[in-house]
């Protein structure tokens, strides 16, 4: 890897693309001057935006792609339509070809997973790819996966996710031996479905091989930050993520209503403005935007499609950090140390 980090970007993916995408890239460039970009998409829409950001243009390459994958297209349909021609496919292809260190798209999640899996292929020894999320907690950020790449899992796939999640934690959280927990309905060994208990037995035997197995964790342990990596299957993980996002919006709405209820509340809000600003920042989902496709022969980041330039900056920053910290090497190291 060279001194600079090259990010391949599907500039047409997302509700506010391509403007929010390029604006987010320009914001990242202000913090990460060692970044270069390859933007894939419709030239007539992207070129004028590059002209608006004079600092971004010299470090950017524009690749014209006429085909754009819609947000509501089925993965199979998108694969037939966009293979080899769409901005989404070409963003991933640049990683496969070694032109870029990481790919980012805010487009259709199912289509992106299908294209990334078809183009990059799963790593040897990994049965199914998963989506990992960076989750803020009371202690620090943690890793949670799978966030919905696949519905249903067996013990082997949960073990795969533990390996991948611990490697991501090593790359991003600056911990050499992260703690891993399996999400369950209780912490007792006799509780839970058979495949979860079987995965627990395997991980307990392998504990120490690049991670420390904590045991079962419950839903409230996610917010507490009890472990560095929480492992679950995609159906449960996606519900947990959407529930947390909805709760954050609900609490924010309650807080705004309470602080504007009367003149005394408004006065209190004025005195507490600094603390309230910090709270808003911590609860802003844009600051932790970006799901990581794990288990492929390359790094792909899925940005939230409805986010703005702040969210895209977060997703691009996540991509930069994973490339700079050699995520793929750490996954390989963790897999080699696993019995």
How many domains is the chain built from? 2
What is the pLDDT tens value at each position of the chain, 339 positions in all? Answer: 458 999 999 999 999 999 999 999 999 999 999 999 999 999 999 999 999 999 999 999 999 999 999 998 999 999 999 888 999 999 999 999 999 999 999 999 999 999 999 999 998 888 888 999 888 888 888 999 988 887 888 999 999 999 899 988 988 887 888 999 999 998 888 888 899 999 999 999 888 877 899 999 999 999 899 999 999 998 998 898 888 878 877 887 887 787 788 877 777 767 777 766 766 666 667 777 889 999 999 999 999 888 999 999 999 999 998 898 888 887 877 777 766
196 — phi, psi (to 5°)? -70, -40
Is 197 found in the same domain as 145? yes
Paired tokens of 173: 């959280």
The model carries a pTM of: 0.86
**pLDDT given at position 256:** 78
**Residue 87 maps to which CATH number?**
3.40.718.10
d(CA 107, CA 68): 9
For residue 332, give Cα distances in angstroms to 73, 124, 203, 242, 326.
Answer: 34, 10, 18, 31, 10
pLDDT at 1: 42
Domain hosting residue 175, numbered range? 130-286
Q: Are residues 85 and 176 in the same domain?
A: no
Pairing of the two strands 102-105 and 5-10: parallel
Does 335 fall in a domain? no
User: Is the same domain home to 102 and 18?
Assistant: yes
Burial 140-168 (b: 16+ CB within 10 A, else e): eebbbbbbbbbeebbbebbbbbbbbbbbb
Q: Flag whether 338 is in a domain.
A: no
Q: Is residue 235 part of a domain?
A: yes
Show the tokens assigned to 280: 């808003």
- Residue 143 and residue 213 share a domain: yes
In a domain, 222, yes or no: yes
Task: Report yes or no on 191 lying in a domain.
Answer: yes
Instruction: List alpha helices for the chain, DSSP H.
Output: 19-31, 43-52, 75-82, 87-96, 109-120, 155-172, 194-206, 219-224, 234-259, 263-271, 273-283, 309-324, 327-337
89 and 68 in contact (C-beta within 8 Å)?
no
Q: pLDDT value at position 208?
A: 81
CA distances to 112, 148, 193, 311 from 306, in Å: 16, 18, 35, 9
């Amino acid at each position: 890897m060279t001194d600079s980090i090259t990010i391949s970007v599907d500039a047409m993916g997302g509700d506010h693309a391509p403007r929010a995408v390029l604006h987010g890239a320009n914001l990242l460039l202000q913090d990460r001057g060692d970044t270069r970009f390859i933007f894939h998409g419709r030239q007539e829409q992207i070129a004028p935006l590059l002209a608006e950001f004079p600092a971004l243009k010299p470090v950017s390459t524009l690749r014209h792609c006429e085909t754009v994958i819609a947000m509501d297209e089925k993965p199979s349909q998108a694969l037939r339509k966009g293979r080899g021609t769409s901005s989404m496919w070409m963003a991933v292809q640049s990683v496969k070809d070694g032109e870029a260190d990481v790919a980012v798209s805010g487009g259709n999640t199912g289509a992106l997973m299908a294209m990334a899996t078809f183009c990059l292929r799963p790593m040897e020894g990994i049965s199914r790819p998963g989506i990992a999320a960076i989750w803020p907690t009371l202690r620090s950020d943690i890793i949670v996966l799978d966030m919905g790449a696949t519905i249903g899992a067996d013990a082997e796939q949960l073990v795969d996710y533990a390996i991948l999640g611990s490697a991501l934690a090593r790359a991003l959280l600056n911990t050499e031996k992260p703690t891993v927990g399996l999400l369950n309905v209780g912490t007792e060994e006799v509780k839970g479905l058979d495949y979860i208990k079987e995965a627990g037995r395997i991980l307990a035997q392998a504990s120490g091989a690049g991670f420390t197995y904590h045991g079962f964790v419950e839903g409230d342990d996610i917010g507490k930050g009890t472990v560095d990596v929480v492992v679950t299957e995609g159906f449960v993980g996606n519900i947990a993520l959407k529930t947390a996002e909805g709760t954050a919006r609900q609490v924010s709405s309650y807080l705004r209503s309470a602080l504007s209820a009367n003149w005394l509340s408004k006065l209190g809000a004025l005195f507490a403005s600094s603390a309230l600003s910090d709270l808003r920042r911590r609860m802003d989902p844009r600051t932790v935007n970006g799901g990581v496709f794990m288990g492929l022969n390359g790094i792909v980041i899925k940005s939230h499609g409805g986010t703005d330039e702040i969210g895209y900056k977060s997703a691009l920053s996540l991509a930069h950090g994973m490339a700079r910290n050699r995520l793929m090497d750490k996954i390989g190291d963790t897999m080699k140390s696993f019995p």
